Amino acid sequence: MRRFWLHLTIGFLISAVGLWIFLGVTEDVLHHDPLTQFDVTLVDWFQAHHGPAADQVFRAITALGSPLVLITVALGVAVFLVISKQSLLLKGWLLAFAGGALLNNVLKRAIQRPRPYAASASLSGSWSFPSGHAMVSLIGYGMLAYLLIILGPRSRRVHVAIVACTALLVLAIGLSRLYLGAHYFSDVVGGYAAGMVWLSACISGLEVTRRSVRPSRLPESPGDAGA
């Protein structure tokens, strides 16, 4: 029980920090504070340091956060959860993806920030803040890491490796959006912050719900056995 309340407290704190960061960045964007000047400076810097090899690498990385790849991951994991008869985790998984995509769309339409001048022509019809790649990749790969931890080996080293690899992947996707000129720095930070709030809410909700059902129906969280 003590571990349960610890999970909830940590989840609440993560959501609070994410919301605080998002609101702060959003205020800077709306009021054209110094952060937006840094945004343009960083876009200029990346545009001046392009190279053929780096272009290919960052295009490959940014594809990992594209709707096509994330939808493929979502469907693949959903099929696995159906086969494994993990109905609650399936619902949480689908809610995280669908809710994250919807929230990103609502925020973009509400703020309506134009794309950087360096963005490709294919992005000209979409808004820039917050970054969908940053936000949805954090939610999607973050949820995948959560599922791997609770369904996979009960090894702290494995769990640390999963979290570290996930963090590196999500950060690399955000960096790729900056390099390619698709987003400003504040777009990516705002996407991470909003994604953090939603991801934390989804995982906390799942943790609460999982403890309200019979232990035999769902896997335990890491460390529950010794709690």
Q: Is residue 220 part of a domain?
A: no
**Domain of 70, in residue numbers:** 2-212
Give the total number of structural domains in the chain.
1
pLDDT at 219 (0 to 100): 56
Q: Is residue 224 part of a domain?
A: no
pLDDT at 226 (0 to 100): 40
CA distances (Å), origin 35, targets 42, 157, 189: 11, 38, 11
Residue 207 — pLDDT band, cuts 50, 70, 90? confident
pLDDT tens for each residue of 56-92: 999 999 999 999 999 999 999 999 999 999 999 999 9
Q: Is residue 182 part of a domain?
A: yes
Q: Is residue 147 part of a domain?
A: yes
pLDDT at 216 (0 to 100): 43
pLDDT tens for each residue of 138-179: 999 999 999 999 998 888 999 999 999 999 999 999 999 999
Question: Tokens 């669908």 map to which residue?
Answer: 98
